[in-house]
């Protein structure tokens, strides 16, 4: 057995242990769609900042139909 074959399973296992899931939640301020694309819009302004920053994210039609403006939408992101 070569060193590569020995260390590859160990490296593979460690890669899963090092990944973390981070949950991000937003309050939907607007939602819109058309031509098969669906979006949520939210306020990304940081505290103390006077310039409003808008965030927009694409979602599936199923998710789009499950939420209304004012709802909280959370998603888990895999952070490597």
- pTM for this structure? 0.63
Residue 78: band (very low, low, confident or very high) from pLDDT cuts 50, 70, 90: very low
Q: What residue ranges do the domains of the chain occupy?
A: 20-79
pLDDT at 57: 87
Mean pLDDT of 74-78: 70
d(CA 66, CA 73): 10
Is residue 79 over pLDDT 90? Answer: no
Calculate Rg over the CA atoms of the chain.
19
d(CA 80, CA 18): 7
Query: Tens digit of pLDDT for each residue in 32-72?
Result: 998 999 999 988 777 777 777 788 889 999 999 999 999 99
């Amino acid at each position: 057995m070569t060193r590569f074959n020995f260390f590859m399973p160990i490296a593979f296992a460690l890669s899963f242990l090092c990944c973390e899931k981070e949950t991000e939640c937003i309050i939907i301020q607007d939602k819109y769609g058309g031509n098969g694309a669906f979006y949520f819009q939210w306020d990304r302004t940081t505290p103390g900042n006077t310039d409003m920053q808008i965030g927009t994210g694409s979602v599936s039609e199923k998710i789009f139909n499950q939420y209304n403006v004012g709802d909280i939408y959370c998603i888990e992101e895999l952070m490597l």
